[in-house]
Each structure stands twice: as structure tokens, then as C-alpha cells.
Amino acid sequence: MTRFFAPGRINLIGEHTDYNDGFVLPVALVQGCTATVEDAASGWAVTSAQTSDEVVVERGGLAGRDGVAEWATYVLGALWLLHDDGVDVPPLRIAVDSDVPTGAGLSSSAALVCSVVSALDAHLGLDLGPAGLLALSRRVENDAVGAPTGGMDQLVSLRGEAGHALFCDMRDLTSQAVPFDPAASGLALLVVDTRAPHRLVDGEYAARRSGCEEAAKRLGVPALRDVTADGLDDALAELNDDELRRYTRHVVTEDDRVLAVVDLLRAGRLDEIGPLLTASHVSMRDDFRITVPEVDLAVDALHEAGAIGARMTGGGFGGCVIGLVPVDELDAAQDAVRRAFADAGFGEPSLFTATAEAGARRL
């Protein structure tokens, strides 16, 4: 029997920069998924403590995906892909159990996939190594499930380090741990899961993505990452479409903010990153236009309650907000958010403080 844990994540800063070959700065959470792999008599059987059905399939390749419940494809995907890669995967039983809320933007999917892939790697003695683990985890979400994720979630779920955020370059998928310990500065990282229903997500995401690609094409660069902050005004002058200008301004300034936050964290100046987090939110709200009233309200309430910075985290149209809050103000900030939601007639948000934890590990 082999058992691995892999965490969910929040993204400290760097939103919609991933598919523009840019920078992101996620943090692995204490919440995560545990995957247990055991030898079985025949076939592949998967269970989840969060679903009632056991799914059993014949051993085989990705062609066996049709008709399998979607949640199980996150688990079986790794087996199917390994089979198609020529690995003789024996009969197995895989059980998963996660405390990452699904669909909240905390990457329950990467926690699930990375725990399974890590456990399989060890159980089968595959020796995939860091690059192989990342590649297989991404292929499970992209090719087996069919979710167009950019790789950040899997990177930090596999490689997060305790007390650090993970600075990722999404062009070459390299990462570097950067110190991140808010408690040492008398601060707490408060996460507000707004539980706002995701609205129009697929179409809006696709529109942003293709808009960014179109802007890069018109500017003659491989991706918006290649427009520098210094070159932004010239780039904006070249684009004669207001929407493309707003997308470009968000992505270029957001990349720049990630780099600025990384510099501050490396210099031990965590208490100065607040305005950059807030500027990121304003850019997502006004330029990229991916926020919803619930997340804007949470950000405003956090600021009024003394947060030194706050922003929506994740792809948008719902999901979570993070705030850097002085520890002394933490209770008041949580009350303020709950009260603001009640006054606005929104559903009750879920709040917790996050610390930076380690990535995937054997239990």
C-alpha cells in the first residue's frame, strides 16, 4: 500500500498571466487530498470519500474514458495515460479523500491528480522525477479530463515548500521558492470563499484567452509576457480595440506586480506587498473585468476592516478572495466580511486563514 498527500492552493498574485507565458506566485495550502494505492485482483477500482459510487474499469488506455463519471477520470486518467505510454500497470485499487472544497478556486482537482500521480509513481516504482510528475499531472487534467488548465496548480501542489510561495515562470515551467511567512510580520493571510455561483465561466474565460492571443498577434510578440512594463504605452497605442487594450494592460501590469512582490518577499519586506495585491484586484475588476459583486464586496470589507491588501484569487466570476490582515484585526475582519455579506443579501461565505505548506509528500 502506498499513500501520498498533495495540497490545494491559493494564488497570491498573478491572475490570467499563466496562458500568456507569464508569472504566478501560488501558495500550497494545509488542505489537500490523500490518495491510497493498493494492489488488487483484477481491473482498476477507484473510490472517493466525497462521492458514493465506486468506479471499476478494465485495464486499458484513454479510449476507455467514455461513459466514466467525470470525477473518476481525474484518478483513472493517470492509469490510462501510463498504459498508453507503454507502462504495464497492474490491477489496482485507489482511494482518495480530500478536504479541499471543489470548484471554489482552491484547486481540488490538482490536489486530487497530484496525490494520485505521486502515489502511483512510488507504488509502481516509475521514478518519473519532478518534470515527469508535473507532465503526467498536467496531461491528466488536459487530456484525460479535458480541462484547459495552465500548469500552475500542479506545479505548486507538487513543489510547494512550507513557509514559501512558489514563483513560477509559466513559459518554461520553472519554479523558485520565495519566503512567505505573514505571521513573522504580525499578519495573517485570510481566505474568503465567497461561495458565489460561478457565472458564465467557460465563455468568459475563452474570450479572455483568445483576446490575449489576438493582442499578442497584433503586437507581433509570441505572448503578452513579451510586452514589458516600459513598452506598455507603445503597445497600447498600437492596439485600436478598447477590449484588447484593457486585456493587455491587465496582463502586462500583473506580470510586473508579480515580479515586484517577489522582490519584496526576497528582501524580507512582506509588509509592503499589500498595495500590489490591491492593485491586482483593481486591474481584474476594471480592466480584465472578471470579478463579481460578491468578491468586490469581500475586498472592500477587508480593506475597511484594516487589511493591508486584498484581491480576488483564481480565474474569476466567483471563487475566493484573499486579504493580508494584521493578526490583531483578524476577528474584526472576519466579522466585517460576514456582516457585509448578510447586509447585501449574499449567501454566507466560508473563511479560514492560510499558511504556506509543503507540496506532495508520502504519508
First to last CA, the chain: 11
Q: How far is the CB of 263 from ligand ADP (least distance, A)?
A: 29
Closest CA to 323 of 195, 194, 189, 193: 189
Nearer to ligand ADP, 274 or 314 (CB): 314
Nearer to ligand ADP, 15 or 256 (CB): 15
Site string for ligand ADP, 15-54 (x = CB under 6 A): ------------------x--------------x-xx---
Q: DSSP label at 25?
A: -
Strands 2-11 and 361-362: antiparallel
Identified binder of ligand ADP from the candidate list 39, 53, 54, 70, rule CB under 6 A:
70
Q: What Å distances lie between residue 229 and 101, 152, 232, 251, 272, CA to CA? A: 36, 23, 5, 10, 20
Answer yes or no whether residue 350 interacts with ligand ADP by CB under 6 A: no
Q: How far is the CB of 141 from ligand ADP (least distance, A)?
A: 7
Site residues (CB under 6 A) for ligand ADP, limited to 259-318: none
CA angle in degrees (0–180, nearest 5) for 142-147-151: 60
Q: How far is the CB of 336 from Mg ion (least distance, A)?
A: 29
CA dihedral sign, ordered 198, 199, 203, 206 = negative
Q: How far apart are CA 180 and CA 200, in angstroms?
A: 34
Identified binder of ligand ADP from the candidate list 105, 182, 274, 316, rule CB under 6 A:
105
> Which one of 121, 153, 255, 287 is the catalytic residue?
153
Q: How far apart are CA 71 and CA 61, in angstroms?
A: 17
Sheet of strand 23-24: strand arrangement? 23-24, 164-169, 174-179
Nearer to ligand ADP, 25 or 262 (CB): 25
Q: How far is the CB of 81 from ligand ADP (least distance, A)?
A: 17
Angle at which helix 108-123 crosses helix 129-139, to 10 degrees, equals 130
Residues 1, 356 contacting (CB under 8 angstroms): no
Residue 142 binds what, of Mg ion, ligand ADP, none (CB under 5 to 8 Å, by partner type)?
Answer: none
Nearer to ligand ADP, 16 or 246 (CB): 16
Identified binder of ligand ADP from the candidate list 17, 36, 107, 154, rule CB under 6 A:
107
Residue 215 binds what, of ligand ADP, Mg ion, none (CB under 5 to 8 Å, by partner type)?
Answer: none
Site residues (CB under 5 A) for Mg ion, limited to 70-109: 107, 109
Strands 92-98 and 44-48: parallel
Nearer to ligand ADP, 109 or 278 (CB): 109
Span near ligand ADP by CB under 6 A; candidates 94-102, 195-203, 245-253, 336-344 = 94-102
Q: Which 3 state secondary structure label does DSSP give 168? A: strand
The residue number with the shortest CB distance to Mg ion is 109
Provide DSSP, 233-270: HHHHHH---HHHHHHHHHHHHHHHHHHHHHHHHHTT-G
Identified binder of ligand ADP from the candidate list 4, 71, 80, 317, rule CB under 6 A:
71
Residues 35, 95 contacting (CB under 8 angstroms): yes
Annotation says 66 is catalytic: no
Read off the amino acid at residue 13. I
User: What is the distance of C-alpha 74 from the center of its chain?
Assistant: 16
Q: How far is the CB of 138 from Mg ion (least distance, A)?
A: 12
Binding-residue total with ligand ADP (CB under 6 A): 19
Nearer to ligand ADP, 24 or 216 (CB): 24
Binding site for Mg ion (CB under 5 A): 107, 109
Binding site for ligand ADP (CB under 6 A): 33, 48, 50-51, 70-71, 74, 96, 98, 102-109, 112, 147
Active site residues: 153
